[in-house]
Amino acid sequence: MATLRALLPRVRAPLRAWPGCPALRSLASSAHFEHIVVAKKGKSSNVGLIQLNRPKALNALCKGLILELNQALQAFEEDPAVGAIVLTGGEKAFAAGADIKEMQNQTFQDCYSGGFLSHWDHLSRVRKPVIAAVNGYALGGGCELAMMCDIIYAGEKAQFGQPEILLGTIPGTGGTQRLTRAVGKSLTMEMVLTGDRISAQEAKQAGLVSKIFPVETLVEEAIQCAEKIASYSKIVTAMAKESVNAGRPEGRHDRVRGEEEGQLQRPVGTGCLCLHTPTHRRRM
């Protein structure tokens, strides 16, 4: 995590509910999560809220966080009272990328035989509508996680990027494919090939983001949208989501698989497998 901490502001305070976002309640008394906070929201408790909760690591996506996220998503998917889900992070970062410390010593053989990244895209298969409420950094895997959601709301200071090229690798969980469909070929090429970030305003103009809100009201706005969606027929909303997604290009999964394999190739002369955080090659 040394490069991440050197380049992005440190988050010293523990993650908390900011103004406009009511205090979070656990999904169930028996649910004990280390890396996320889960609650039900809305007047009818029909909105599932998942908050990534690794503030000191800027919500870096470690294996434990992803597994807990998948468990929470599955619980909400099976809960008949929940009609929509909101996924958010903290004020400083939605998710700044994959966890460097966890990934840096893995070899290509370890990852390939172990099904590396195979559990990262469960979010894209959830049938209930999911809204990403993005404050701060959404970089690499964090940007890809947001793009797996159906709607993206952004805080005014949000930043999106796919900086993997700076580390001699490529996006690994569908970033190139989803970003192309969202913003078009030219901007995708620029972001992927330069590693440059775009602001919330640029993301909205390009079509990646639906709406922009003040940082302190973002999550509550996302919950209100989710509550509205959850008030409709769950079967119809699932059908509507499936119908929109049916327009995706044929063979996407094959291309995403190729993307994953490309990312697993360790860059020559580096000691890192794949890092989703913005840095420079000389640091590796």
Selecting among 68, 144, 221, 259, the annotated active-site residue is 144
The H or E element that residue 257 is part of is: helix 252-264
- Region for 195 from its dihedrals, namely left if φ exceeds 0, alpha if ψ lies in -120 to 50, beta otherwise: left
Selecting among 98, 133, 146, 226, the annotated active-site residue is 98
The Cα–Cα gap between 8 and 21 comes to 25
Compute CA distances 60 → 94, 101, 125, 159, whole Å.
Answer: 9, 10, 22, 15
Q: Please indicate whether residue 90 is annotated as part of the active site.
A: no
Selecting among 83, 90, 97, 141, the annotated active-site residue is 141
The Cα–Cα gap between 37 and 22 comes to 13
How many alpha carbons lie under 13 Å from residue 207 in its C-beta half-sphere? 10
Q: What are phi and psi of 6, to 5 degrees?
A: -70, -30
Q: Please indicate whether residue 164 is annotated as part of the active site.
A: yes
Selecting among 68, 91, 164, 259, the annotated active-site residue is 164
Residue 25's SS3 state is coil
165-168 long-range contacts, CB within 8 A, separation 24+: 165/192, 165/193, 165/194, 165/195, 166/195, 166/278, 166/279, 166/280, 166/281, 167/267, 167/270, 167/272, 167/274, 167/275, 167/279, 167/281, 167/284, 168/267, 168/268, 168/270, 168/281, 168/284
Q: Please indicate whether residue 141 is annotated as part of the active site.
A: yes
Q: Could you give the residue numbers annotated as active site?
A: 98, 141, 144, 164
